[in-house]
Amino acid sequence: MNSEILKLITPLSEDKIKKLRSGDAVYLSGIIVGARDMAHRRIAGAIKNGEKLPVSLQNETIFYVGPSPTPPDKISGSIGPTTSARMDSLTEPLLKNGLRAMIGKGKRSEDYKKLLIKYRAVYLVAIGGASAFLSTKVKEIKKIAYRDLGAEALYSITVKDFPLFVAYDIYGGDVFKLVETGSSVK
């Protein structure tokens, strides 16, 4: 675990994430994809049916989010993470297609953690309840697919110094276990 805040820029290759350890603080910049439950179901269904995806998942980062409407004088409405465990059963097809990182909140299943090791991907957590603050880190947001899903559409989100923590790394590290055992998280 690093004591400094690491800066990462998307896209996230395996090379970029292999230095990450659970508990590390990260500032993420670049373009990420916003997708919640329904968008995940559509993406997983498209993969299963051999259909063309609306975005490439290769080295992509998905943020489990349903943004609030954007006020007239703002770039983005409140933008916070949603509970991620609901996506566990939909994750493997995305990882097989190159997904490198996911952003959300809360613990994930043991099977999910094994998939991260197998496919060399990470799970990052954003602070729940800080969605108004997180929106200040958004430089651009736009719907790119599945517009009929409203807030659960697929989004392209450009972020600058988006604050995150590494929850699960590619080595099996687990920040939640660190906290439960009283180990220090810097």
Give catalytic residue positions. Answer: 40
Could you tell me how far CA 5 lies from the centroid of its own chain? 18
Can you read off the two tokens belonging to residue 45? 């269904």
CA of 173: how far to CAs of 22, 24, 92, in Å?
5, 11, 19
Cα 143 to Cα 141: distance, rounded to the nearest angstrom:
7
